Structure 1
Amino acid sequence: MKISARLARRLIVALCIVAVLITPGLILKFSGAEIAPLASLLIYGIAVIAASFALAWTGEAAEKDISGGLMVGLLAITAILPEYAVDLYFAFSAGSDPSLTQYAAANMTGANRLLLGVAWPLMVLVAWLVYRSVKRKQAAVDPDIETKPFAVVVRRGYRLELGLLIIATVLALLIPLTGQINILLGVAMLGLFVFYLYRASKSETEEPELMGVSESIGALSTVPRRIMLVVLFVGTAAVILMLAEPFAQSLIAAGRQLGISDFLLVQWLAPLASEAPEFVIAILFAMRGKAGMALGLLIASKVNQWTALVGSLPVAYMVGGGGWTMPMDPRQVEEFTLTAAQTLLGISILLCMKFSGRWATVLFLLFTTTFIFTSTEARYLVAAGYTVLAVVLLVAHRRAIWPTVKMAVTGKDSDDGFPVHLPGKEHRRGMSRPVSRM
């Protein structure tokens, strides 16, 4: 198929912009020049974000050429690489410099809480705005939307992710309870992630719907497309891996220069940079009236972060010269407690197979509360609030818990009648699901 002039122009412009944004970071890295920490943070941060976007386009476009488990694995790698490059650098370095352990935990917990506390609610807000616009125009409404009360429907096939999140959360509770991440727990989490890839590869998939730059790449004829995919994947992955260390070091140095806690910069700024492409893709899906696909992508991202990222930390720590367990100080235990409690609430909300605007607001407000009330007591109160709400919902949705776990373990959905309402033909097909970028 011959690519149209419009798509070719979009592709060329996008790749040129990425190249321009990445180049200063590479020059600074290999020149050995020393500049102000804030300037280096800006240069490296822009380069990592640009490479992450190119990596995201590659993962999306690859769906045209790769199928089954290999595709799922590749898409998972493209999604986790930007974030993991920074986090695993800290974990690896902490093996020889224990003072860096806090940063590995900070980056992981920040990434997880940003996903549930900001990305999920933001996606629902965008879906609601799109629904209002469509309603005014009297056009067809997204079949993944319920209106009274407003909610985005979770496609039935995503019970797989929810079941795995339940298992992973039970395992993750060992971290705040013991004050450490044992290598055995890390291996178990990584094994759960591999099992997830296996189960996901067995699920039925729909024809991928590409958008933006990935659409331009997908429109190329077979040989040029595959060559471009390989070049982009290898090139952007190499850039991210090379710049992970200086980007992380710039974060710490800039925080100290500005008088801002370097812990907070690592916890929130680095995940924002690495997850930006993922957030943008989810929002684009929601803007195009595909809120169910957007939510599915974000749920899959949570599985990746809560299994592979958590599991990788003690492994990298040990390889870097640390022991069999990665110790957590009281602040890190506090962060893990908050993150685990938030995850539990997110799971309990989605067990009813919908994500309402009301619960999106609750997640966002609880997330922002920890920035207003920063004392240890207040943060544990917020964690208690997450937990109490989660327990109430788990009791209300108790009929769905075992079928959801069973779905994750066996790959077989249960005709349990919960939830009663499964709107749209595509939801009644059971396991049919879009391929989301892991």
Structure 2
Amino acid sequence: MSRLSHPLAQVAGALALTLGWVLVFFGGAALPVVPTYEQLGVVLTVGVSGVAVLGASFLLAWGAETAEKDVPRAFAIAVLAVLAVAPEYAVDALYAWNAGAGGATTAACGDLSTAAVQAGETELARACHDANLAVANMTGANRILIGIGWAGIAVFTVYRAAKTQDAAVRDREGWLADAVTLDRDIATEITFLFMATVWAFLVPLGGGIDILDTLVLVGIYVLYIGIIIRGDVEATEDQVGVPHYFQQWSLPWRPLVVLGLFAYSGVMIFTAVEPFAHGLETIGLNNGIPEFFMIQWIAPLASESPELIVVVVLVNKARSTAGFNALISSKLNQWTLLIGTLSVVFSLAYGQYGVLPFDSKQAAEIWITAAQSYFALAILVDFEISVREAISIFALFISQVILEFLLIREAIALPVDSEELLLVYTAVYVVIGTALFVKRRAALREMIGLAADAGRTAIGRDPVHTEFAD
């Protein structure tokens, strides 16, 4: 083994990618010769912070893979997912806080016109606008995760299979029929995501995100964590490179390394992604792209980048099952914790209990996001996703984004406005998803049965759905 290929050299290389950001973020204020990232300018800030996110993503992936030796794989991946999307929480929390601090109650915002809110004519109008942005950023992030993340990784996994020899990829006859098969252990994640998705359809009916949404959605995630943390530590897959090296370390050094990798990568991602996303927003705004569009799509795309990088790393190591587990776990925590905590942040800023308000456009955004999740789960319910299915997920996602952008820019004329367009796509997702669930009802029963068995095992009872055992 050459020195450059030694695992510690690879770790050093990933750390080196983050050093520029460490210097400008932590050293800029203390060392006169080092500029702060605000002094670098937008383009350089995007470059330095983006490279740091890349390096931190490698460290995060290695930490999660190393941890699988000591904790259930699903739990290690759940931790990875939370750390990878932490910046998304920070961005959304900022908008929710500003909304609460500005007194953006449901009643107060209801008295303002749409034009006044969008223009931010007063402090209250700006607060109401921030409340809408919190929802827009959250729904954009969730739709990107499925429309680009799930779809893109499925196609990439099949594409790379010729080189990686990934056993999860199945060659099938037919047009774009090659598929990625998923481990049935992922039934727990899919079932809990299904529960959260069903509840999400009800959120707009309450006129805002309230304490009931918080209790239900956070409760779903807590129950999920309670089940997977009690799972057995699986026989570790044959690791290579950095994770294999660290897994040979003895206790207590191995878990300390894992904690160190998680902590350092988490700090890097949390501090670097916001300036990275904000820099991209600024570049977009300077080129005439609407603020709302930038915050809903470009900022979440930047904040989701660590997770997508991590999954690409896993796929390149023929660990597509772990990669999809990470994507689904991320979707679950964003679809539960992210939505559920927005009203808490809003209430803290408001100084008393309050409901995070949103307008009818954001209600439609929540419905289409829930519908997309419903459709995607109908595809995964049989524990596989083909290239054809992945392309359909992406096609529906990107066509809606493009059409809405063109409508906002008044570049095309359609018989519906942007809000009605969202409702049309919502109906399409629900109709196709329902048809798939009906067709795959046996797979749906199997998925729920496997998840129920995982819950029974977590409380020390024997599984009952032995007919679903592999």
Q: Which of the residues 382, 385, 388 maps onto 2:428?
A: 385
Question: What CA deviation, in whole Å up to 9, does each residue of 1:365-400 have, x standing for no partner?
Answer: 001111221142333222221111011111112234
Instruction: Provide the residue aligned with 1:262 in structure 2.
Output: 291
Task: Supply the distance in 2 between the matched residues of 1:242 and 1:118 (Cα, whole angstroms).
Answer: 24
The change in CA–CA distance for 1:290 and 1:73 in structure 2 (over 3 A counts) is closer
Please tell me whether residue 11 in structure 1 is matched to residue 26 in structure 2: no
Tell me, in whole angstroms, the C-alpha distance in 2 between the residues paired with 1:184 and 1:199: 22
Cα deviation, 1:210-266, whole Å, max 9, x if unaligned, reads 456545554556555544444443344345555676667656655544432222222
Distance in 2 (alpha carbons) for counterparts of 1:104 and 1:52? 25
In the TM superposition, 1:162-241 aligns within 5 A as 162-204=190-232, 205-208=234-237, 210=239, 213-215=242-244, 217-218=246-247, 222=251, 225-241=254-270
Q: CA separation of 1:38/1:314 partners in 2, compared to 1, >3 Å: closer, same or farther?
A: farther
Q: Which residue of 2 aligns with 1:281?
A: 310
Cα offset, 1:199, TM superposition? 1.3
Output one character per residue of 1:338-387: Cα deviation in whole Å (capped at 9) or x when no partner: 11010000111111222122111110100111122114233322222111
Larger Rg: 2
**Counterpart of 1:105?**
135
RMSD: 3.4
SS of residue paired to 1:289: coil
Structure 2 unmatched ranges of 5 or more: 31-35, 103-126, 408-417, 457-462
SS at match of 1:95: helix
- Cα gap change, 1:314 to 1:178, in 2 (>3 Å): same
Deviations 1:94-153 (A, max 9, x none): 22132322232222212211121111122221222234457xxxxx66145252332111
Gaps spanning 5+ residues in structure 1: where?
Answer: 135-139, 419-427, 430-438
Aligned residues: 413
Report the more deviating stretch, 37-46 or 85-94. 37-46
Aligned to 1:425: none
Query: Is the alpha carbon distance of 1:132 and 1:86 closer, same or farther for their aligned partners in structure 2, counting shifts above 3 Å?
Result: same
Which one is further off, 260-269 or 218-227?
A: 218-227
Q: Are 2:208 and 2:357, in contact at CA under 8 Å, matched by a contact in 1?
A: yes
Q: What SS class does the counterpart of residue 147 from structure 1 fall into?
A: coil
Match of 2:63 in 1: 58
Question: Within the alignment, does 1:330 sit opposite 2:360 as a pair?
Answer: yes
Q: Distance in 1 between matches of 2:73 and 2:187?
A: 19
85, 90, 101: which one aligns with 1:85:
90
Q: Report the residue type matching 1:353 in the other structure.
A: F
Q: Structure 1's 217 and 317: CA in aligned 2 closer, same or farther, altered over 3 A?
A: farther
Report deviation, 1:173.
Answer: 0.9
Structure 1 224/23 Cα, relative in aligned 2: closer, same or farther at 3 Å?
A: farther
Match of 2:375 among 345, 351, 375: 345
Q: 2:101 aligns to what SS in structure 1?
A: coil
Asked whether the equivalents of residues 18 and 53 of structure 2 are also in contact (C-alpha less than 8 Å), the reply is: no
Indicate the SS of the match to 1:105. helix
In the alignment, residue 134 of structure 2 is paired with which amino acid?
Answer: A
Whether the aligned pair in 2 keeps the contact of 1:342 and 1:386 (CA below 8 Å) is: yes
2:172 corresponds in structure 1 to: 147
Report if aligned partners of 2:99, 2:346 keep a CA contact under 8 Å in 1. yes
State the 1:83 CA deviation: 2.7
Aligned to 1:436: none
Matched position secondary structure for 1:152: strand
Aligned counterpart, 1:114: 144
Which structure would you say has the larger RCO, counting Cα contacts within 8 Å and 6 or more residues apart? 1
In the alignment, the residues of structure 2 paired with residue 283 and residue 238 of structure 1 have an alpha-carbon distance, to the nearest angstrom, of: 21
SS in 1 for 2:385: strand
2:225 partner letter: L
Secondary structure of the 2:236 match is coil
CA, structure 1 residues 357+249, in 2 after alignment: closer, same or farther (shift >3 Å)? closer
Letter in 1 for 2:290: S
C-alpha displacement of 1:269: 2.7
The answer (yes or no) to whether the contact 1:69–1:202 under 8 Å persists in 2 is no
One-letter code of the match for 1:88?
A: A
Label 1:200 to 1:33 Cα distance change in 2 as closer, same or farther (>3 A): closer
User: Which residue pairs with 2:110 in the alignment?
Assistant: none
Q: Give secondary structure in 1 for the equivalent of 2:350.
A: coil
Describe the superposition over 1:267-304 as per-residue Cα deviations: whole angstroms up to 9, x where unpaired: 22333333223222322333333333332332222222
User: Which residue in 1 is equivalent to 2:398?
Assistant: 368
Residues in 1 aligned to 2:4 and 2:46: alpha-carbon distance in whole angstroms: 38
Relative to structure 1, the CA distance from residue 415 to residue 230 in structure 2 (aligned partners, 3 Å threshold; closer, same or farther) is: closer
2 CA distance for matches of 1:163 and 1:72? 17
Instruction: Tell which deviates more after alignment, 143-152 or 238-247.
Output: 238-247
One-letter code aligned to 2:422: R
1:301 maps to what in 2? 330
Residue type of the partner of 1:185?
Answer: D
CA distance in 2 between partners of 1:284 and 1:241 (Å): 20
What is the distance in 1 between the residues matched to 2:310 and 2:75?
22
| In 2, Cα distance between equivalents of 1:20 and 1:176 | 43
CA distance in structure 2 between the aligned counterparts of 1:289 and 1:53, rounded to whole angstroms: 16
- AA matched with 1:147: R
Share of identical aligned residues, percent? 31
How high is the TM-score relative to the length of structure 2? Answer: 0.76
Residue 416 to residue 262, structure 1, CA distance change in 2 (3 Å): farther
Q: Provide the rounded CA distance (Å) in 1 between the counterparts of 2:261 and 2:68.
A: 15
Whether the 8 Å CA contact 1:88–1:313 is kept in 2: the answer is yes
